[in-house]
Amino acid sequence: MLKSINQLLSEALKDELTQEQLKFLPSGYQKIGDIVIVNINPEIAEFKNEIGKIILKKIPKTRTVCSRTGSVFSEKRLPQIEVITGDENTETLHRENGCLYKLDVSKVMFSKGNLKERHRLQDLIKSNETIVDLFSGIGYFSIPIAKFAKPSKIYAIDINPDAILYLNENIHLNRVEGKIEAILGDCREVVKKLGKIADRVIMGYLPNTSKYLDSAFAVLKDKGIIHYHDVFKEEDLWDKPIGILKKSAEENGYVLEEILDKIIVKSYAPKVFHVVIDGKFLKRK
């Protein structure tokens, strides 16, 4: 049986750390391409180099080890990352679900915890749909949809220029040229130019996604689907998010015709969850 990262680190550092310090060792990690990212508790920050060297040695096909120095911030969803050991180059090529994603982990966000949701979404797409991905990043959702479904067109928008740079590279890497149009800009402004073209809108942004719902309705056809991601406390599921969708639909001249699905994607904090709701909307006559 494979040992956990916590077991590996505990065994390697048992003579250097006190029993109290051992409790603060990382319990998990994220591996993107050949880069491992861990959270280093401030209580053991002085040992981060030793932790990095152990990970570099023990986790196969690892070139660089990074630690998070803070949360993802700003509307550009910028990571806060530092290299603690290994190659200083933070650009990598990540393979997932038959797709290739080139990215720099210090410049753009990539959440491996959304793998199941990315796979689920690609299976929902119907032939010849026009899709607008309001927060495309490097193509987390757009690339697998373009590769494995048969959309008419995907308009992939992001405000982070580095994300759009890598999205264009990933379009080429995955041979989906012509299926995705990468657009740099604030989705709230971009949708005004696109008009009501979308059969389906993807809102893969966290948290406080509701402030962008007007933009989703601005680009939605008279009938269509919105995939609404957001963060909610356990006690607010599912009345609060559904209430938000109903209210925004009404304000934008639509009705929430049907909830097609509601899913807990992953834990965001204790008793707080990243969720997605698939809502089918109809323009009010």
The residue out of 89, 104, 121 marking a domain boundary is: 89
pLDDT at 138: 96
Mean pLDDT by 10 residues, the chain (285 residues): 80 90 91 95 93 93 94 81 96 94 94 79 93 96 95 97 97 97 97 97 93 98 97 95 97 97 91 96 93
| CA separation for the pair 164, 171 (Å, rounded) | 10
Q: Kindly list the distances between the CA atom of residue 183 and the CA atoms of 36, 67, 133, 134, 249, in Å, as whole numbers in the listed order.
A: 30, 31, 10, 10, 25
Whether residue 108 is contained in a domain is answered as no
Contacts of 55 by beta carbon, 8 Å cutoff, 6+ apart: 5, 8, 9, 29, 36, 38, 62, 65, 85
| CA separation for the pair 116, 120 (Å, rounded) | 6
Q: What CATH number is given to the structural domain containing 29?
A: 3.30.300.110
Q: What is the pTM of this model?
A: 0.92
> Residues 61-80: pLDDT tens digits?
999 999 998 887 778 788 89
pLDDT at 247: 97
Collapse the DSSP code of 182 into the 3-class scheme (helix H, G, I; strand E, B; otherwise coil) and give the result. Answer: strand
Instruction: Check whether residue 190 and residue 58 sit in a common domain.
Output: no
Give me the domain span that covers residue 174: 113-283
Instruction: Check whether residue 159 and residue 76 sit in a common domain.
Output: no
DSSP 77: T
What is the total count of domains within the chain?
2
| CA separation for the pair 109, 80 (Å, rounded) | 10
Instruction: Check whether residue 78 and residue 131 sit in a common domain.
Output: no
Instruction: Check whether residue 84 and residue 159 sit in a common domain.
Output: no
The residue out of 33, 55, 89 marking a domain boundary is: 89
pLDDT at 243: 97
Q: Are 40 and 29 in contact (CB under 8 A)?
A: no
Instruction: Check whether residue 132 and residue 216 sit in a common domain.
Output: yes
| CA separation for the pair 185, 165 (Å, rounded) | 12
pLDDT at 1: 47
Q: Is the dihedral of CA 181, 73, 101, 201 positive or negative?
A: negative
pLDDT at 113: 63
Whether residue 74 is contained in a domain is answered as yes
Instruction: Check whether residue 194 and residue 126 sit in a common domain.
Output: yes
Instruction: Check whether residue 126 and residue 261 sit in a common domain.
Output: yes
Instruction: Check whether residue 163 and residue 48 sit in a common domain.
Output: no
The residue out of 57, 89, 121 marking a domain boundary is: 89
Q: Are 204 and 135 in contact (CB under 8 A)?
A: yes
User: At residue 78, what is the residue type?
Assistant: L
H helices within the chain, ranges in order?
5-13, 19-22, 48-58, 115-124, 142-148, 161-173, 187-194, 213-219, 239-251
Instruction: Check whether residue 63 and residue 145 sit in a common domain.
Output: no
Whether residue 235 is contained in a domain is answered as yes
pLDDT at 50: 94
Peptide bond into 238 cis (omega under 30): yes
pLDDT at 216: 98
pLDDT at 89: 97
Q: Are 237 and 275 in contact (CB under 8 A)?
A: yes
Whether residue 100 is contained in a domain is answered as no
| CA separation for the pair 85, 51 (Å, rounded) | 9
Instruction: Check whether residue 148 and residue 236 sit in a common domain.
Output: yes
Whether residue 272 is contained in a domain is answered as yes
pLDDT at 203: 96
Instruction: Check whether residue 136 and residue 264 sit in a common domain.
Output: yes
Instruction: Check whether residue 85 and residue 139 sit in a common domain.
Output: no
